[in-house]
Amino acid sequence: MNQGKYIVLEGMDGSGKTTQFELLQESLGRNVLMVREPGGTEMAEHIRKLLKDKTIARSPKTNSFLFAAARADLIDQVVAPAIARGQHVLSDRNWLSTLAYQSAEGADVEHIIAINKLATNDFFDPDLIIMLDLDPKLCQERQRRRGNNEADYFEHKGEAYFKAVRQGYLEGIKQFSKSLVIDASPSPEQVAVIVQKAIEMVM
């Protein structure tokens, strides 16, 4: 039996990543397992709730460990078994998000890379990682149009922070052997054509 492929869709909040993930859910068929980070297992979902709780003060370093712990459980319990039985896995985010967001908050890049190598084992470098790239101001505008509470998060953090996040993505994606950066400013339908063609070439 051939092994499945591990493919990741990445991008800043507001880049259209969630929309593209939902479109891919409809088009790729049953042989593709869709997962999200953090989440996908009982343990990882508990960690997700903790990470979303803004009433608990944490350092960027602590957040990096929490994301890595959730990621390790998802890889061990869901991703690795699916790949071994020949099923393709499409993940909404991976450790590139941790690198981009936590390094922008001050966490050490080498530290993030090191703990995620331990957390992901053979899945540190996916068969393909796609990043949807969009100017942070446009991301913020999209969030506001949707009435998303994350728009307040943008305003709270400030423009400089999200510029650093974007730069973290663009630098971090160089760590991967097979990656694609896609301009996310066109319509969702136009972006979807490019994303799906790239994924189909890998599968």
Question: Which tens digits make up the pLDDT trace of 12-68?
Answer: 999 999 999 999 988 987 779 999 999 999 999 999 999 988 889 999 999 999 999
Q: Report pLDDT digits (tens) over 163-188.
A: 999 999 999 999 999 999 999 999 99
**Domains in the chain and their CATH numbers?**
6-202 (3.40.50.300)
Is the pLDDT assigned to residue 152 strictly greater than 80?
A: no
Element of type H or E holding 32: strand 32-36
Q: How confident is the model at residue 1 (pLDDT cuts 50, 70, 90)?
A: low
pLDDT of 196: 95
Which is nearest to 36 in space by CA: 67, 5, 81?
67
pLDDT of 154: 44
List, in order, residues 6 or more apart from 147 with CB less than 8 Å away.
Answer: none
Q: Peptide bond preceding 38: is omega within 30 degrees of 0, i.e. cis?
A: yes
Cβ atoms of residues 157 and 107 within 8 Å: no
Across the strands, what pairs with 183?
Answer: 133
pLDDT of 181: 98
Gap between the Cα atoms of 189 and 20, Å rounded: 9
pLDDT of 117: 97
Tokens 């999209």, located at residue: 142
Gap between the Cα atoms of 86 and 164, Å rounded: 38
Which is nearest to 157 in space by CA: 147, 169, 165?
165
**SS3 assignment, position 26:** helix
pLDDT of 2: 81
Is the pLDDT assigned to residue 11 strictly greater than 60?
A: yes
